[in-house]
């Protein structure tokens, strides 16, 4: 009996930008939710000045707000398998950055 093993094959992929994706969008907030086997990754923007003001008030001993509003920049839906590959890619990037930073010391 032969068993089918999942194998990752590296390919060079070039994504061509469309009109709406030609320029990068700035985000400083993410949230991931999963429903019915689909992962939804929300990318948002919370005004940096607002974040700074909240940090300042909490340092001064005042209570942080119970919530705040930001802007949804985009939502990406993907299968959980794609989310797992994204996780692997992010881990590789973070390890490379850590190694580069340690190499400079």
Distance CA 86, CA 49 (A): 30
What is the model's pLDDT at position 16? Answer: 84
Residue 1 has pLDDT above 80, yes or no: no
Q: Which residues of 94-103 are buried (b: 16+ CB within 10 A; e: fewer)?
A: eeeeeeeeee
From residue 48, alpha-carbon distances to 3, 32, 73, 82 in Å are 52, 21, 15, 31
As a dihedral over the C-alpha atoms of residue 35, residue 36, residue 38, residue 41, rounded to 10 degrees, the angle is 0
What is the model's pLDDT at position 71? Answer: 92
What is the model's pLDDT at position 34? Answer: 96
* pLDDT tens column, 28-60: 999 999 999 999 999 999 999 998 888 898 898
Distance CA 73, CA 44 (A): 5
Distance CA 64, CA 45 (A): 19
pTM comes to 0.72
* pLDDT tens column, 68-89: 889 999 999 999 999 999 999 9
């Amino acid at each position: 009996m032969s068993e089918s093993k999942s194998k990752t094959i590296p390919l060079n992929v070039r994504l061509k930008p469309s009109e709406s994706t030609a320029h990068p969008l700035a985000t400083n907030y993410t949230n991931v939710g999963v429903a019915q086997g689909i992962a939804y990754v929300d990318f948002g923007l919370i005004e940096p000045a607002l974040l700074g003001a909240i940090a300042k008030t909490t340092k001064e001993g005042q209570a942080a707000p119970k919530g705040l509003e930001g802007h949804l920049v985009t939502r990406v839906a993907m299968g959980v398998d794609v989310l797992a590959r994204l996780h692997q890619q992010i881990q590789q990037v973070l390890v490379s950055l850590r190694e580069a930073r340690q190499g400079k010391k």
